[in-house]
Structure 1
């Protein structure tokens, strides 16, 4: 089976941002949404001693067991250097632990600890409420279609197989 997607149009044929307008430019809307989402529970994160990279790492580690640091960086959408600093802090606080990968002694896996899971479980209701506010008044069928579209977009633009 081959990919039957139409070829990308030449850049010179695409509308300019001024013609589209910000309200019709998906990356702008996604940035606004994520900025608002992150801001909606920033205070709760700060009260728990978390930054956005630390919270994202704990969130991923709460559902993915022992990813390699490079995989965690992809899932958490955090630059690896920023993630390394966040992991140093989380490890120092006893919220995560690192372990050498059994198959590659140069690679490191990261695991959430019970105290780390407890911190994330305190943050999760704020994250879930922020998401619920985003989807307020949107029927389930539209929500499912939107999530399906986001997954397709991610497949189109991703650099990693994760």
Structure 2
């Protein structure tokens, strides 16, 4: 069967996944890409005692200073319960520290420590290489357009302000 893009369908009809085909279904492609990206980092992360949620938290914390835990969950794309366990481990390992928010003592802010930054900086070259591999053969213009499209898509589906 020939794969069809949704725009090829008559108005008012919803194509079936089999008609679209997995290779034309963006969520499938995005999941495959991120699955491969994460898998390509697994050995390096394991060598540093990191899991994907821990790596994501450190990555965000290396860029954003002291987010609230709920903000960190959104930015790192990790469920809050999973993130909480990862933060417990990162704190025990001395890679992050938690502080009560100055404006709301019930809220907690998270900060990366020097040891956490060093751990992340050890992983960063591997992350950067995996990122470069994904864009091999993609021109700078195509890359800008793709990232712009992803930003629009995120804005379309976003549930949080951030």
Tell me how far 1:112 sits from its aligned partner: 0.1
Is residue 2:160 matched to residue 1:160? yes
The whole-number CA distance in structure 1 between the counterparts of 2:42 and 2:30 is 18
| 1:50 matched residue in structure 2 | 50
Structure 1 residue ranges, 4+ long, deviating more than 2 angstroms after superposition? none
Tell me how far 1:14 sits from its aligned partner: 1.7
Q: Please list the CA deviations of residues 28-68 of structure 1 after superposition, one character each: whole Å capped at 9, or x if unmatched.
A: 00000000000011000000000000000000000000000
Q: Please list the CA deviations of residues 76-134 of structure 1 after superposition, one character each: whole Å capped at 9, or x if unmatched.
A: 00000000000000000000000000000100000000000000000000000000000
| 2:21 matched residue in structure 1 | 21
The whole-number CA distance in structure 2 between the counterparts of 1:161 and 1:23 is 31
Tell me how far 1:13 sits from its aligned partner: 2.1
| Secondary structure of residue in 1 paired with 2:62 | helix
| 1:145 matched residue in structure 2 | 145
| 2:110 matched residue in structure 1 | 110
The whole-number CA distance in structure 2 between the counterparts of 1:15 and 1:57 is 38
| Secondary structure of residue in 2 paired with 1:98 | strand
The whole-number CA distance in structure 2 between the counterparts of 1:137 and 1:29 is 17
| 1:8 matched residue in structure 2 | none
TM score, norm. by length of structure 2: 0.92
Structure 1 unaligned segments of length 5 or more: list them.
1-11
| 2:101 matched residue in structure 1 | 101
Instruction: Provide the alpha-carbon RMSD of the alignment.
Output: 0.7
| Secondary structure of residue in 1 paired with 2:129 | helix
TM score, norm. by length of structure 1: 0.92
The whole-number CA distance in structure 1 between the counterparts of 2:110 and 2:57 is 9
| 1:74 matched residue in structure 2 | 74
Structure 2 unaligned segments of length 5 or more: list them.
1-11
The whole-number CA distance in structure 1 between the counterparts of 2:13 and 2:105 is 50
Tell me how far 1:153 sits from its aligned partner: 0.2
| 1:121 matched residue in structure 2 | 121
Is residue 2:38 matched to residue 1:38? yes
| 1:134 matched residue in structure 2 | 134
